[in-house]
């Protein structure tokens, strides 16, 4: 085993609500290193949002320049977001995604059938890495997506339900989908959301107008397997952006199911796709934003791709899967 590599396991305790579950994952990590002694490893239980950022940066600051830090994010989108922003820009760092949260959809970029393999500790420790693009937005970086408008509003409304029924949704996973549907319906009937005016510059092209949604994606999946921007691939140096036209509430309900399955191209009068590197968005009304599950409001945004900015551990030498080619969605087969 490579003893120049330091292993830092960052665990979101909310992803392991039962003490037995948390004890089991801790035992699996410790048992591995008992059987394979030598490498340096640390386990950190995250205490609050962004806690992992300072922990990771402190570890990097103490490292010898010839050492490699592999950070393992055990949990959902929140802990992945924190770990990514902890290592971004630092040399000799790697990120291993271990999906135990209610989201954790970026690993589906390798193929849905490989999801469980990313929970295998031995594979995560011994597998190689793949250079991966990152979304830069304001002071943050994200792996998967930046949404503005309808979908962000849905998430903001869903988060309020999640907080109210946090213990129940971990016991009954079906509640996560139900809450998202409720949040989506509430957003769909908010006229200020589905017809907001945006000033948009996409790689120098003026796309300003009234829109229901803007989805800028580095990966194809979100929301427990939904794939609206089905052409997105995390290592192609581009962001795939879907813009949804201003619509009525009934039109939203008509096209949203197909849209979430990646069939936006079946609604050419409502949705359009572009490949971009940099997008600037502003509005007189507050922007409703969802950046890899981190929901917030802003007045203006600049979203751009940073190619090959992070090294992601890929179990069994998997490559990112191309689910659908760009030309296939612009010119679908009859």
pLDDT digits (tens, 9 = 90+) for 17-26: 888 999 999 9
Out of 84-88, 107-111, 188-192, 288-292, least confident range: 188-192
Whether residue 181 is predicted with pLDDT greater than 60 in this model: the reply is: yes
Reported pTM: 0.91
Give the model's pLDDT for residue 323.
86
Q: 178 and 120 in contact (C-beta within 8 Å)?
A: no
Give mean pLDDT, residues 192-217.
96
Range with the lowest mean pLDDT among 130-134, 171-175, 301-305? 171-175
Stretch 70-81: mean pLDDT = 95
* Tokens linked to 289: 């934003």
Give the per-residue pLDDT at 92: 95
Does pLDDT of 332 surpass 60? no
Where do the domains of the chain lie? 5-132, 145-308
Angle separating helix axes 174-188 and 249-260, nearest 10 degrees: 140
Question: Has residue 333 got a pLDDT over 50?
Answer: no
Q: Which residues contact 151 (CB under 8 A, 6 or more apart)?
A: 187, 213, 215, 228, 290
Flag whether pLDDT at 334 surpasses 50: no
pLDDT for res 36: 94
Share of residues in the chain with pLDDT > 90 (%)? 73
pLDDT range class, residue 330, cuts 50, 70, 90: low
pLDDT of residue 173: 64
Q: Which of 34-38, 223-227, 265-269, 302-306 has the lowest mean pLDDT?
A: 223-227
pLDDT score, position 125: 97
Mean pLDDT, all residues of the chain: 91
* pLDDT, tens digit, 9 for 90 and up, residues 113-157: 999 999 999 999 999 999 999 999 999 999 999 999 999 998 888
**Residue 224 vs residue 77, higher pLDDT:** 77
CB atoms within 10 A of CB 264: 24
Segments in 127-282 forming alpha helices (H):
150-164, 166-171, 174-188, 191-194, 249-260
- The pLDDT confidence band at residue 240, using thresholds 50, 70 and 90, is very high
pLDDT at 169: 62
Dist CA 79 CA 73 (whole Å):
6
**For residues 286 and 307, what is the distance between their CA atoms, to the nearest angstrom?**
29
Task: Classify burial at 174, counting beta carbons within 10 Å of its beta carbon; exposed 0-12, middle 13-18, buried 19 or more.
Answer: exposed
The C-alpha atoms of residue 230 and residue 260 are separated, in whole angstroms, by 9
Fold annotation for 5-132? Rossmann fold (3.40.50)
Q: What's the token pair of residue 302? A: 């600049």
Tokens of 310: 């992070």
Of 22-26, 45-49, 84-88, 255-259, where does mean pLDDT reach its minimum?
Answer: 255-259
Dist. CA 318–CA 109, nearest whole Å = 10
- The per-residue DSSP string of 11-72 comes to E-GGG--SHHHHHHHHHHHHHHHHHS-SSEEEEEE--STTHHHHHHHHHHHHS-TT-EEEEE
Looking at residue 185, what is its pLDDT?
Answer: 82
Predicted pLDDT of residue 45: 97
Domain 145-308 has CATH 2.60.40.650: no
Where is average pLDDT lowest: 76-80, 131-135, 215-219?
76-80
pLDDT of residue 160: 72
């Amino acid at each position: 085993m490579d003893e120049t590599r330091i292993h830092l396991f960052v665990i979101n305790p909310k992803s392991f609500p039962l003490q037995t579950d948390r004890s089991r994952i801790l035992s699996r990590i410790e048992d591995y290193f008992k059987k394979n002694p030598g490498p340096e490893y640390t386990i950190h239980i995250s205490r609050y949002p962004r806690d992992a950022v300072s922990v990771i940066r402190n570890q990097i600051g103490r490292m010898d320049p010839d050492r490699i830090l592999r950070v393992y994010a055990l949990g959902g989108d929140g802990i992945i977001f924190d770990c990514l922003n902890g290592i971004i820009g630092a040399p000799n760092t790697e990120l291993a995604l271990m999906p135990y949260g209610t989201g954790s959809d970026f690993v589906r970029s390798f193929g849905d059938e490989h999801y469980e393999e990313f929970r295998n500790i031995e594979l995560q420790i011994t597998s190689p890495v793949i250079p991966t693009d990152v979304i830069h937005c304001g002071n943050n970086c994200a792996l998967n997506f930046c949404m503005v408008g309808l979908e962000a509003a849905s998430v903001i409304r869903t988060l309020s339900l999640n907080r109210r029924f946090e213990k129940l949704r971990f016991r009954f996973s079906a509640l996560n989908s139900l809450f998202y549907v409720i949040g989506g319906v509430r957003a769909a009937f908010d006229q200020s959301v589905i017809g907001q005016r945006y000033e948009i510059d996409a790689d120098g092209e003026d796309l300003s107008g009234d829109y229901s949604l803007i989805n800028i994606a580095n990966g194809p999946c979100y929301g427990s397997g939904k794939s609206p921007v089905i052409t997105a691939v995390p290592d192609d140096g581009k962001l795939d952006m879907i813009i949804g036209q201003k619509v009525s509430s009934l039109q939203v309900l008509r096209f949203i199911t197909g849209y979430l399955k990646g069939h936006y191209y079946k609604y050419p009068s409502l949705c359009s796709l572009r490949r971009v590197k940099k997008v600037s968005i502003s509005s007189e009304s507050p922007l409703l934003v969802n950046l890899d599950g981190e929901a917030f409001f802003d007045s203006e945004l600049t979203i751009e791709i940073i190619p090959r900015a992070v090294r992601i551990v890929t179990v069994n030498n998997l490559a990112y899967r191309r689910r659908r080619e760009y030309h296939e969605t612009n010119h679908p087969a009859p």
